Copies of this chain bind each other. A is one copy, B any other.
Amino acid sequence: PVATREASRAVKLFHALSDETRLEIMSHLQKGEQCVCDLMDTLKSAQSRLSFHLKVLKEAGLIEDRREGRWIYYSINLDALKELEELVRALKQSAKSAASAGRCC
């Protein structure tokens, strides 16, 4: 069903962001696109480890990659963040109306 699809999409987005290393990656990509070697430098982390986390973020649609010569540049996908924002907003809105409904009775 559709609801299930949406739920598992939400799970994927939240899970991708539920890790400190991946949040650090997102944080560094906020400054603009970077290659893996940049991130290795900044995060002082092994290449295969970063590759693993980049894959998780990419499969959730949160980042994109672009090849340029030997390097692969990663960048944030704004659409996914908008999607996430909308998810959280929807969750908050319904809860808000439920709370005020509870208050008045």
Q: Is the CB of A92 within 8 A of B82?
A: yes
- Interface size of A by CB at 8 A reads 36
Which residues does chain B contribute within 8 Å of A82, judged by CB atoms? 92
Contact of A91 among B8, B20, B81 (CB under 8 A): B81
**Known A78-B96, A98-B31, A98-B76; contact A11-B7, beta-carbon cutoff 8 A:** no
A residues apposed to B, CB below 8 Å: 7-8, 10-11, 14-15, 17-20, 23-24, 26, 29-33, 75-76, 78, 81-82, 84-85, 88-89, 91-92, 94-96, 98-99, 101-102
Question: Bound complex: CA of A33 vs CA of B99, how far in Å?
Answer: 9
B96 touches A88 (CB 8 A): no
